[in-house]
Copies of this chain bind each other. A is one copy, B any other.
Amino acid sequence: MRFATPLPLQSGVEMHDYTLVYETYGTLNAARSNAVLVCHALNASHHVAGSYDENDPKSVGWWDNMVGPGKALDTDRFFVIGINNLGSCFGSTGPMHANPATGKPYGAAFPVVTVEDWVHAQARLADALGIAQFAAVMGGSLGGMQALAWSTMYPARLRHCIVIASTAKLSAQNIAFNDVARQAILTDPDYHGGDFYAHGVVPKNGLRVARMVGHITYLSDDDMAEKFGRELRTGKYQFDFGIDFEIESYLRYQGDKFSEYFDANTYLLITKALDYFDPAREFDGDLTKALANSQAQFLLASFTTDWRFAPACSQKIVQALVNNKRRVCYAEIDAPHGHDAFLLDDTRYMNVVRAYYERVWLETMETMEAGAL
């Protein structure tokens, strides 16, 4: 969907003439009360569920284990919307698109966007779709930050807020890992100051290293030990700098794959949005005050082995909500897969979300009946 009205961004810049791509699943009811917005994290998109091509496993939506008919977020009940965020590289306006001011790709001139900017853009799309209030806004990791931001930026526009494996702010260590990734990209000669499109190249080496660093932080130490340990590819040391260990093979493969489809400028933008998110910042670091005007009910979930956004990060949000007397469910799920667990098919995790959506559904039905009376 194309938006002609400029979007004022937190940086002070205005975004002119932009497009947001989105996907929907299920049917919006007559009361327009069963819509759920699913916000994506770093490298995902509007393609949340379903498959474009049954023969291509890569075309399956990134949260297809969570969203679909009969699934935890049941598209037989809810009208689910996935939106690709501004600055991303999966269809919505991003750094690879033409800057209307110059006619050339934005490149590094694409404005730095924040979680709050994305939420404003999502709200405009909701307006255009005629959705005044979401049954729920939901996301994991960076997606969870967007859900949390919705709860205070548009408190009346969501009845439930579901924040999974997320945090109210990045730690110094989180920022440090992001900055290493950015430096790998920015100093790759093929980055060309962000204008690599014009040079017909891609800063593949930088993106590859960025992804390798990121990937380490998504997995738990234990899970890596379990899956790879010190397994050697050929059973013996090679005494060179090729591949000795299986973990090297795996990580390099992940880095290679990522560098083939992901945009380097998008990577910079999205890590910056992560770093900047800090709703308590305007309240002298007081998260309770920052969340005071939220009205939604909340579900928070974290995973025991997630060392990127550890359970303590979710607990701080829960505490701030409880301080505000909000209704909050919190699940700390014992799962071995680190931060990545939020994308995986863990029975306990899925059951928690499923049970929560049962309640959201019952309330949605009641609202409809009340409205019908």
Indicate whether A68 reaches chain B with its CB closer than 8 angstroms.
no
Closest chain B CB from A232 CB (angstroms): 10
Which B residues touch A241, using CB under 8 A? 108, 182, 186, 268, 272
Q: Is B252 touching A172 in the complex (CB atoms < 8 A)? A: no
CB of A180 within 8 A of CB of B212, answer yes
Nearest B residue to A252, CB-CB: B183
Q: Counting CB contacts under 8 A, is A276 at the interface?
A: yes
Q: Considering the complex, which residues of chain A in the window 209-238 have a beta carbon less than 8 Å from any beta carbon of chain B?
A: 209, 212-213, 216, 219, 221, 224-225, 227-230, 237
Which stretch of A146-154, A242-250, A364-372 is in the interface?
A: A242-250
B179 pairs with A276, CB closer than 8 A:
no
Q: Mark A163-195, 1 if CB is under 8 A from B, else 0.
A: 000000111110111011011101111000000
Q: Which residues of B contact A111 (CB under 8 A)?
A: 239
Q: Does A328 touch B at the CB level, under 8 Å?
A: no
Report if A74 contacts B (CB, 8 A).
Answer: no
**Which B residues touch A187, using CB under 8 A?**
205, 208-209
A263 close to chain B: CB less than 8 A: no
* A306 adjacent to chain B (CB < 8 Å): no
- Whether, in the assembled complex, A105 has its beta carbon less than 8 Å from a beta carbon of chain B, the answer is no
Closest B residue to A9 by beta carbon equals: B239
Q: Is the CB of B172 within 8 A of A224?
A: yes
- Option from B230, B252, B272, B278 in Cβ contact (under 8 Å) with A179: B252
A225-B173 contact in complex given A180-B251, A183-B212, A252-B183, C-beta closer than 8 Å? yes
By beta carbon, the residue of chain B nearest A188 is B205
- 18 A–B contacts, CB within 8 A, in A order: A172-B230, A172-B245, A173-B224, A179-B248, A179-B251, A180-B209, A182-B241, A183-B208, A183-B255, A184-B209, A187-B205, A187-B208, A188-B205, A209-B209, A230-B278, A241-B268, A241-B272, A244-B276
- Residues of A that sit less than 8 Å from B by CB: 10-13, 108, 111-112, 169-173, 175-177, 179-180, 182-184, 186-189, 205, 208-209, 212-213, 216, 219, 221, 224-225, 227-230, 237, 239-241, 244-245, 247-248, 251-252, 255, 268, 272, 275-276, 278, 281
